[in-house]
Chains A and B, each alone.
Chain A
Amino acid sequence: MKSRNKKLALLGGVLCASGIAVALALNAFQSNMVFFYTPTQVAAKEAPSNRTFRVGGLVQEGTVRRQGLDVHFVVTDTAQTVPVTYTGMLPDLFQEGKGVVAQGQLNGGVFVAREVLAKHDENYMPPEAADAIERARKGQSRLEASQAAPDAAVTSAAAGKQP
């Protein structure tokens, strides 16, 4: 019986430890999930104001301005736009008219990015960015041109880059 008790104690210990580990993991998971919002959602004030999130779309042509280490640009999903600021070095493939995803927080209508992702391949569109544009396009067709028609050049660029 004695060794049986020990086995039970061992089993209990293992279960306890893995239970704690799972609880820790789920807790960490909950607090570190980063949600993605499209510029349209941000404009509609659906994005949280004091939590880190991601926004993505195309870097609008002619909006990239560098002031020393700071850089300002506008992310668009062809329907709405979000102004973004970032400090430091941008990734190699960051270009006007190309897809981008920024991670950071909203501060008075300006998205302060702590990370800017424009990934690895010229033919590659960040899936979130592609999705944002797709959703904006669907939204617009439902509104039946009640809004201004999207910039044709941007739309075709977006269509060409979708994976």
Chain B
Amino acid sequence: MIPELGHFALWLAVGVTLVLGVLPLVGAQRGRTDLMLLARPATSVLMGLVLLAFGCLIASFVRNDFSVLNVASNSNSALPLMYRIAASWGSHEGSLILWLLMQAGWAWAVANFSRNLPLPMLARTLAVMGLLTLSFLLFVLLSSNPFDRILPVPLDGQDLNPQLQDPGMIFHPPMLYMGYVGFSVAFAFAVAALIGGNLDAQWARWMRPWTTVAWAFLTFGIALGSWWAYYELGWGGWWFWDAVENASFMPWLVGTALIHSLAVSEKRGSFKSWTVLLAISAYSLSLLGTFLVRSGVITSVHSFASDPARGLFILVMLGITVGAALTLYAWRASSVGLGARFEMLSRETMLLTNNVLLVVATAAVMLGTLYPLILDSLGLGKISVGAPYFDAVFVPIMAVLVFFMGIGPLSRWKRDEMPALSRRLRWAAGVTVVSALLSAWVGGKLTIMSILGLLMAFWITASVAADLWERIKPIKGMAGMQAPWWQRLRQLPRAGVGMMLAHLGVALFCFGVTMVGTYDVEKDVAMGPGDSTTVSGYTFTYLGAKPANGPNYEALRGHLTVVRDGKPIAEMFPEKRIYRVQRNPMTEAAIYTRVRGDLYVQLGEVIEGETWLVRIWVKPFVSWIWFGCLVMGLGGILAITDRRYRAKAGATATEGAGAMSGVSAAR
């Protein structure tokens, strides 16, 4: 009964999205309040129905209902409960239900947390989100129903892919989807504004927190995926420029450009049509990512049994969504109008540079990702484009981007003067060069890449410090009249602090990438019980392996001790597992993490007798990469708690209000 209930809820949801997607839109065009007022309750009903379907799917997994095909192929009665729950989104069908849940959830959030949106704007936005939900509902129901039954009912399930049996499976997909689908809010706002023709600074202010929070989730999701791949797949790296990774990275790059161009649109009213285009692109790239991952054109951990019909369906969906949005854009963009003027040297120019660089970077990733696929589908041969290409293109673009990232926040809106700007930044520049050279010298390995990377990390840090100083320094001639610096620190707008924090996250990230890229050491070595080997000053001694079975797998657990300068550092237990159902060997690495870096040990295979092939990595500062991403995302979250986004009726904007001509207060 439960699966049928879920299935039925999805069909009911189709009906609701039809209402939601059409009537409020008509109402907004004809000025009929009754139809527009439908949007909010319809969104709530949609949310309830999708939640019900999602709950039914989870219930089927929890109850081990192997009469459901999806459960039978992706779960097993011996699978621990938390992985049975996570297995609900471990398959293609299940992951689409998760997508639907996120889509409905974002729409519900917009309906409930945008009380100060004008009704026509809200009605149009929710209607667009309803139509997006409809397309995914149809996709699920017509090609990927997770509630399909199977006859005869198998006695037990085929188990979840062992590589997915990890806490990463519980957090990575929901986070990533929150981000992916979150860009649909920006998309819907953009389309709604194009239809309504009211693209003003106020519109940018409504859209900005939604976009930032989606971006933050996408940042968390990608970072979690990278971290998971690092410790689980055992390739020892943190990013492989794999097509699936790129599929999530492209929306992130465009999303990053979008949150920066929104800053200009909100503060200065400029770049509006560009912002709209970026909003459309970010969500389109999310859809493209889904197409790449789900259609089977790319095979990886993320692709399931490939089915050309599904790929075609997503492609058509992508075509309709993007095509309609771009047509609307072409038709209405000319009416958007230009914003305030700005000089060559101004923050607008800095942010424009940011946008150009990020879009070029996106194009470069897209070329490397799509070109092999296109070549293959045309039958022109099989090629692959590896990490060297992406590194060669990416590093220079990012270096330039980081250079401007230091200058941007310190330059003034509208116009700035070179002498003043360089005066604000001279200390930062000096500190950057000295500390980068000093740490490369201490590290003992001077390469161009390491110096460049350290320069980037220190430049961001120093310029953030300079920015902070500019904001809280005592002003000459006002001694005694202004608050002391610590009070001024507390009074800084949260949006500004959030930006600094996010930029600092980039610095931490750059530092981690540089250190692990320059100083990482890998050693494959044959080790019998009692054998020792020394890597980067750490002496690893292998003591032997013992059986260590889990609930649904058999394992051998190796034991190593690590000693440095005579002092014991860690005991490490890498495992080799065989999962009972799928009979795949799985390498479970042992990782010892500290702030200054990771020790990473894997058991390979038996060479002879009790001698194993053991792989040892010493990875300095590798965890700073993910910590940096965490800080970036938290910066975004902090920024949206800024007062002006919570502006109540009658409250006026706190800063930059003078620049926005013709914008009333928040209601």
Tell me whether A120 and B163 are in contact in the complex, defined as CB-CB below 8 angstroms, given that A6-B343, A33-B385, A90-B605 are known contacts. Answer: yes
Interface string of A4-16 (1 = CB under 8 A from B): 0010011000100
Of A29, A35, A68, which one neighbours B367 at CB under 8 angstroms?
Answer: A29
B386, A34: Cβ atoms under 8 Å?
yes
B607, A32: Cβ atoms under 8 Å?
no
Tell me whether A35 and B383 are in contact in the complex, defined as CB-CB below 8 angstroms, given that A122-B584, A163-B306 are known contacts. Answer: yes
B615, A121: Cβ atoms under 8 Å?
no
Cβ of B350 to closest chain A Cβ, rounded Å: 12
B392, A22: Cβ atoms under 8 Å?
no
User: Chain A: which residue is nearest B359 at the CB level?
Assistant: A18
Tell me whether A25 and B367 are in contact in the complex, defined as CB-CB below 8 angstroms, given that A92-B586, A119-B299, A120-B161 are known contacts. Answer: yes
Q: Binding site of A, secondary structure by majority: helix, strand, loop or mixed?
A: mixed
A10, B306: Cβ atoms under 8 Å?
no
Docked CA distance A123–B389 (Å): 30
A121, B524: Cβ atoms under 8 Å?
no
* B312 CB within 8 Å of chain A: no
Docked CA distance A120–B613 (Å): 21
A89, B586: Cβ atoms under 8 Å?
no
* B364 CB within 8 Å of chain A: yes
User: Chain A: which residue is nearest B391 at the CB level?
Assistant: A28
CB interface residues, B 395-413, toward A, < 8 Å: 396-397, 400
User: Chain B: which residue is nearest A128 at the CB level?
Assistant: B382
B385, A32: Cβ atoms under 8 Å?
yes
A29, B301: Cβ atoms under 8 Å?
no
Cβ of B358 to closest chain A Cβ, rounded Å: 11
B296, A163: Cβ atoms under 8 Å?
yes
* B483 CB within 8 Å of chain A: no
Cβ of B363 to closest chain A Cβ, rounded Å: 8
Contacts of B490 in A (CB 8 A): none
CB interface residues, A 112-145, toward B, < 8 Å: 119-124, 126-128, 131
B356, A18: Cβ atoms under 8 Å?
yes
Of B349, B356, B360, B384, which one neighbours A54 at CB under 8 angstroms?
Answer: B384
User: Chain B: which residue is nearest A34 at the CB level?
Assistant: B384
Of B353, B384, B607, B615, which one neighbours A66 at CB under 8 angstroms?
Answer: B607
Interface size of B by Cβ–Cβ distance < 8 Å?
A: 52
Of B353, B363, B615, which one neighbours A88 at CB under 8 angstroms?
Answer: B615
User: Chain A: which residue is nearest B603 at the CB level?
Assistant: A89
Cβ of B23 to closest chain A Cβ, rounded Å: 43
CB interface residues, B 519-552, toward A, < 8 Å: 524-526
Docked CA distance A99–B367 (Å): 28
Docked CA distance A60–B585 (Å): 19
A28, B389: Cβ atoms under 8 Å?
yes
Contacts of B396 in A (CB 8 A): 21, 24
Cβ of B151 to closest chain A Cβ, rounded Å: 22
* A50 CB within 8 Å of chain B: no
Contacts of A89 in B (CB 8 A): 524, 602, 604-605, 613, 615
User: Chain A: which residue is nearest B341 at the CB level?
Assistant: A3
Interface size of A by Cβ–Cβ distance < 8 Å?
A: 40
Tell me whether A36 and B383 are in contact in the complex, defined as CB-CB below 8 angstroms, given that A21-B397, A66-B607 are known contacts. Answer: yes
CB interface residues, B 286-327, toward A, < 8 Å: 296, 299-301, 305-306
* A17 CB within 8 Å of chain B: yes
A32, B389: Cβ atoms under 8 Å?
yes
Contacts of B5 in A (CB 8 A): none
Cβ of A121 to closest chain B Cβ, rounded Å: 6
B383, A90: Cβ atoms under 8 Å?
no
* B434 CB within 8 Å of chain A: no
User: Chain B: which residue is nearest A18 at the CB level?
Assistant: B360
* B422 CB within 8 Å of chain A: no
B384, A21: Cβ atoms under 8 Å?
no
Contacts of B344 in A (CB 8 A): 6, 9-10
Cβ of A120 to closest chain B Cβ, rounded Å: 5
Docked CA distance A140–B102 (Å): 51
* A69 CB within 8 Å of chain B: yes
Docked CA distance A139–B397 (Å): 46
Contacts of B393 in A (CB 8 A): 21, 24-25, 28-29
Interface string of A59-92 (1 = CB under 8 A from B): 0000000101100000000000000000111101
* A93 CB within 8 Å of chain B: yes
Docked CA distance A3–B533 (Å): 67
Contacts of B587 in A (CB 8 A): 92
Contacts of B115 in A (CB 8 A): none
Cβ of B178 to closest chain A Cβ, rounded Å: 24
User: Chain A: which residue is nearest B400 at the CB level?
Assistant: A17
Contacts of B381 in A (CB 8 A): 35-36
* B583 CB within 8 Å of chain A: yes
Tell me whether A126 and B364 are in contact in the complex, defined as CB-CB below 8 angstroms, given that A14-B356, A21-B397, A25-B393 are known contacts. Answer: no
Docked CA distance A103–B393 (Å): 22
B384, A36: Cβ atoms under 8 Å?
yes
Of A17, A21, A93, which one neighbours B584 at CB under 8 angstroms?
Answer: A93
Contacts of A119 in B (CB 8 A): 299-301
Interface string of B83-96 (1 = CB under 8 A from A): 00000000000000
* B368 CB within 8 Å of chain A: yes
Of B352, B360, B524, which one neighbours A69 at CB under 8 angstroms?
Answer: B524
User: Chain A: which residue is nearest B613 at the CB level?
Assistant: A89
CB interface residues, B 68-82, toward A, < 8 Å: none
* B335 CB within 8 Å of chain A: no
A69, B356: Cβ atoms under 8 Å?
no
A sample of 17 inter-chain contacts (CB < 8 A) reads A6-B344, A9-B344, A10-B344, A14-B353, A14-B356, A21-B360, A25-B360, A25-B393, A29-B367, A29-B389, A33-B384, A33-B389, A34-B385, A36-B382, A89-B524, A90-B605, A92-B586
Given contacts A24-B396, A119-B301, could you give 16 more A-B pairs where the C-beta distance is less than 8 Å?
A: A3-B341, A21-B357, A25-B367, A29-B385, A33-B385, A33-B389, A34-B386, A66-B607, A68-B526, A69-B613, A87-B524, A88-B613, A89-B602, A89-B605, A122-B583, A163-B306
- B interface residues (Cβ-Cβ under 8 A, vs A): 161, 163, 233-234, 296, 299-301, 305-306, 341, 343-344, 349, 352-353, 356-357, 360, 363-364, 367-368, 371, 381-386, 388-389, 392-393, 396-397, 400, 524-526, 582-587, 602, 604-605, 607, 613, 615
Give the 6 A-B CB pairs with smallest separation, nearest first.
A32-B389, A28-B392, A36-B382, A89-B604, A88-B524, A25-B393
